[in-house]
């Protein structure tokens, strides 16, 4: 069962992220292609997000190198 409409399993993750409003409303889009800083996903992965807790909710935060790869994917247009 996807949490808050977010499916990250194979074949569904991109559609659940790219140009999709977050749980917090239409003004916070999960992934804005070409705009990592405007993407709510990056905000949630970095320390002190404006809404809710830092992701992931369990375990330790992602290593900065992993966040940087996600940031670059978004910068490059969040292509499949």
Q: What is the pLDDT of residues 10-44, one digit of tens each?
A: 777 898 899 999 888 778 999 999 999 999 999 99
| In a domain? residue 4 | no
pTM (predicted TM-score):
0.84
Structural domain including 47 reads 13-75
Q: Is the pLDDT of residue 9 over 80?
A: no
| In a domain? residue 5 | no
Confidence at 50, pLDDT banded by 50, 70, 90: confident
Give how far Cα 37 sits from Cα of 5, 11, 43, 60, 79, Å.
22, 25, 7, 22, 17
Cis? peptide before 23, omega within 30° of 0? no
CB 6 within 8 A of CB 16: yes
| In a domain? residue 1 | no
**Percent of the chain at pLDDT exceeding 90:** 54
| In a domain? residue 70 | yes
Per the structure, the count of domains in the chain is: 1
């Amino acid at each position: 069962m996807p949490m808050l409409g977010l499916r990250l399993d194979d074949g569904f993750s991109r559609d659940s992220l790219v140009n999709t409003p977050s749980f917090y409303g239409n003004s916070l889009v999960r992934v804005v292609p070409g705009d990592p800083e405007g993407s709510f996903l990056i905000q949630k992965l970095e320390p002190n997000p404006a809404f809710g807790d830092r992701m992931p909710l369990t375990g330790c935060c992602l290593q900065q190198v992993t966040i940087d790869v996600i940031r670059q994917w978004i910068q490059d247009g969040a292509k499949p």
